[in-house]
Amino acid sequence: MTVEEFLKNLLESQNLLPKQEAALEANKKEVTDFLRAEFGAAPVIKYAGSHAKGTAIRESYDLDIVCYFPSTDTRTLKEIRDDVSAHLNKRYLMQDKSSAERITNLKNASAPSGYHIDVVPGKFIEGSKDVFLHVAYGDKERMQTNLKTHIDQVANSGCVDVIRLAKLWNCRNNMDIKTFVLEIFVVRALTGSRNKSNPKAAFREVLGAMKDQFGMLQLVDPANKANIVSQLISPSHRVMVAKTAEEAWKKVSQSDNLANWKSVFREESSDSGLTFIPPSKSNPIHNPSGQWAW
């Protein structure tokens, strides 16, 4: 097997199964129907996150739903969010996030560990497709952004395959890089690159950029440059990611040795095919505080 074949097989192994896609659709319909029963036809309710961008991986995915109310709604952002939260709490077990309400008990048998649904309440800005989101933690109480810009930035970047590889590498090495940060970083790292359609070369480029740049990361929201996306990751976490990327880069930067590539993705050969090797418990897991939902 060549490295190219290995990466192709790896990507194919991370496609969601039909039963998983069906479960996502069913979960979205359940939550959407519930919100419609509570709030009527006023809010726009749609997919967001990895599902909408085409970057989902089977080993680690969740469901993101936005619930955006019209600009004519007279409630404040906080009142809208509190109202959505109160209604969801009538049916589901909930967890507050910085700008999302997380449903933790809507499960299905085919979902990965940690599967959840984030509902992001917001309010359209008059005369615009931008929205304001209420922010529970941090220096400001609201954030202006645009879902379509986020989806277009990633889905049309030509980087979807390497983003999915980077997400799998992130997941299997327990680095806990916020998905939106990782997606935007990969897009930036490969801007102008001729290797976007070559997963092997593109992934090498991303690792090289990550080892050199992630420690001093400065990323902005493509929908609003006032939102500093890199604030989602603490300085110590950034350094850890850069060091992990450097270790991986050293293994594959000049090598087509299949064993090196497998080790980067924590895989080994077995009679039944490729097998994921879980990372050591000593591998640091970092949970940055004040996370935003995208």
Percent of the chain surpassing pLDDT 90 = 77
Whether 93 is covered by a domain: the verdict is yes
* Separation of CA 238 from chain center: 17
CATH of the domain at 237: 1.10.1410.40
Residues 140 and 166 occupy one common structural domain: no
Residues 179 and 257 occupy one common structural domain: yes
Residues 91 and 187 occupy one common structural domain: no
Average pLDDT of the residues in 33-41:
95
Residues 137 and 172 occupy one common structural domain: no
Residues 40 and 131 occupy one common structural domain: yes
Q: Please say which residue of 112, 147, 182 terminates a domain.
A: 147
Range of the domain at 241: 3-13+153-276
Whether 294 is covered by a domain: the verdict is no
Is the pLDDT reported for residue 22 higher than 90? yes
CA distance 18 to 126: 39
N-to-C CA span, the chain: 38
Whether 282 is covered by a domain: the verdict is no
Is the pLDDT reported for residue 63 higher than 50? yes
Residues listed for the chain? 294
- Look at the pTM and tell me if it is higher than 0.95: no
* Separation of CA 209 from chain center: 19
Is the pLDDT reported for residue 222 higher than 50? yes
Average pLDDT of the residues in 129-158:
90
Whether 290 is covered by a domain: the verdict is no
Quote the number of domains for the chain: 2
